Amino acid sequence: MDGKLAEVWHVEDNLSLAIQVGAIPALPGPSGTPMSGTASEPVGEPRTAASPSGPVDEEANKEIARRVYEEAFSGDVDALNELVAEDYFKHTFDPGIAPGREGFRQSLMVTLTGFPDLTCTSEDVIAEGDTVIIRVTCNGTHEGVFAGLPPTGKQVSVVGIDEMRIIDEQVVEHWNFLDRFGLLSQIFPMGGSQGGAQASPTA
């Protein structure tokens, strides 16, 4: 506004930082492999050379990004078959997760096992060409095992900001930035910190 920054939403990977400096122990990732504090080396190659077969519909791409969260992350896992390419590439896979759409499904199922009533709401969606940035708020109840932690019955709220490349109506490439520290701090004692992206317990 008037040439100055007026508002900002910011998500830091404070969980990775805390693990790397030894402030907290490594927790099990989705496959049971301990989180190292840094993203594992992704399997496969990003589709950087991919290009749409026709004109880019930015509004349609924004709707696809919304549906990934408001449908798939909210329990309709089968929606991934329509919304995500089979050779989808995620830059921030946890250790041991399979490549492609199947890896997305595996990771999502771990989350939904821990938080079976999870619902995600799109707060902002911005598109430019084949790239979409989406900010979401997800709420759920810790009713199953998650990151090796037994269910606590606590309600949680967590913020995420994602970048997706969408080609021919499917997500082909994905950078996922979730306030994992803010999430875990709501169900696991971490020195009283509540994370870094507006993530605080609702109960």
CATH at residue 25: 3.10.450.50
* Of the candidates 116, 87, 91, the residue with the CA atom closest to the CA atom of residue 102: 87
Q: Which residues pair with 84 in a beta bridge?
A: 171
Q: What is the pLDDT of residues 10-58, one digit of tens each?
A: 665 655 655 566 656 666 655 555 554 444 445 455 555 456 667 889 9
- Both structure tokens of 179: 């306030």
* Of the candidates 172, 144, 171, 169, the residue with the CA atom closest to the CA atom of residue 156: 144
Please check whether residue 100 lies inside any domain of the structure.
Answer: yes
Q: What is the pLDDT of residues 52-66, one digit of tens each?
A: 667 889 999 999 999
Please check whether residue 192 lies inside any domain of the structure.
Answer: no
Range of the domain at 86: 14-42+60-185
* Of the candidates 176, 173, 48, the residue with the CA atom closest to the CA atom of residue 108: 176
CA distance 1 to 131: 24
Please check whether residue 88 lies inside any domain of the structure.
Answer: yes
Q: What is the pLDDT of residues 61-119, one digit of tens each?
A: 999 999 999 999 999 999 999 999 998 988 875 666 777 899 899 889 989 999 999 99
- Both structure tokens of 149: 């932690």
Please check whether residue 69 lies inside any domain of the structure.
Answer: yes
CA distance 147 to 134: 25
In the chain, the number of structural domains is 1
Please check whether residue 84 lies inside any domain of the structure.
Answer: yes
